[in-house]
Amino acid sequence: MKIIAIANQKGGVGKTTTSVNLGACLAEKGQKVIVLDLDPQANSTSALDFTPGEHPSIYQSLIGGGEVADLVVPTKYDNLSIIPCDMDLAGCEIEMAKEDDHLVRLRNLFEPFKATEIADYILIDCPPSLGVLMTSALAAADELIVPLQCEYFGLEGLSKIVGVHQQIRDSGANSEVVLEGIVMTMADSRTNLSAMVINDVREYFPEVTYDTVIPRNIRLGEAPSYGQTVIDYAPTCAGAVAYRALADEFIARHS
């Protein structure tokens, strides 16, 4: 089982969209996937057709202990499960910050869970911040995937998340977490800016930048309002095609 943090401290770059739709496409291809909604906004929870607060979140285990396996809820999609979010997670950062082990608490929770091999991958949908929850996710993860919007400010944000990744490695909290990939999102083929940003990222990070580029696509934005993934809501749209290609590339990298 690999734990993969999908993180970027900048909001609106496609973290939740990538967590949910990459997870669904991997599940469609026979991989067993759990999406962990670690963002108090609970967008992954809603996107997979659950009501936030309907089921316990990881908050209960982080603060009070308990087994992570008890929090896993099957979705309506084969091979795809979720550890949903509730509003209690919003106060989790304040409570965890008081504890000396706050950085490794999530990692310690996952150690016995990973041994169960209940899934092939856990995709952590991280909050858009550099706070305790996001750094805890990096400390718990085997790999980091960074969704990066194809715009100038996306490049500025990339340097920050790469820096945090290196800090986590250097601190000893998780010296083995690797930058697995950068996924270019919200690309607009009509603009030169998108092409320039993609080329710049590929120049500086040639080994890890995915070939697949996620286009700006209205169906990707509409699908969550129906509690569906894009491959369920609009299986032939450009967004669905792109996420299926991303899943193929992801599997090829991990095979």
Predicted local confidence at residue 209, as pLDDT? 97
Whether the predicted pLDDT of 86 surpasses 90: no
Look up residue 186 and give its two tokens. 């919200």
CA pair distance 226, 220, nearest whole angstrom: 11
Model confidence over 193-208: pLDDT tens digits? 899 999 999 999 999 9
**In which element (H, E) is residue 36 found?**
strand 33-37
Q: What is the mean pLDDT of residues 156-183?
A: 92
pLDDT at 251: 98
Q: Summarize the confidence of residues 46-52 as an average pLDDT.
A: 94
- pLDDT reported for residue 175: 93
pLDDT band at 97 (very low <50, low <70, confident <90, very high): low
Among 55-59, 179-183, 187-191, top mean pLDDT goes to 179-183
The per-residue pLDDT of the chain, averaged, comes to 92
> Does the structure show a pLDDT above 70 at 233?
yes
Mean pLDDT of 59-73: 86
CB 122 within 8 A of CB 2: yes
Fold (topology level) of 2-254:
Rossmann fold (3.40.50)
**pLDDT value, residue 124:** 98
**pLDDT cut 70: percent of the chain above it:** 99
Q: Which residue is it, tokens 């967008």? A: 43
More confident residue, 255 or 145: 145
Given a cut of 70, is residue 219 above it in pLDDT? yes
In this prediction, residue 14 carries a pLDDT of 93
Taking residues 92-119, report their average pLDDT.
82
Regarding predicted confidence, which is higher, 233 or 101?
A: 233
**What is the structure's pLDDT at 53?**
84
CA 181, 182, 185: angle at the middle one, nearest 5? 140
Select the more confidently predicted residue: 100 or 183. 183
The DSSP code sequence of 66-105 is --GGGG-EE-SSTTEEEE---GGGGGHHHHHHTSTTTTTH
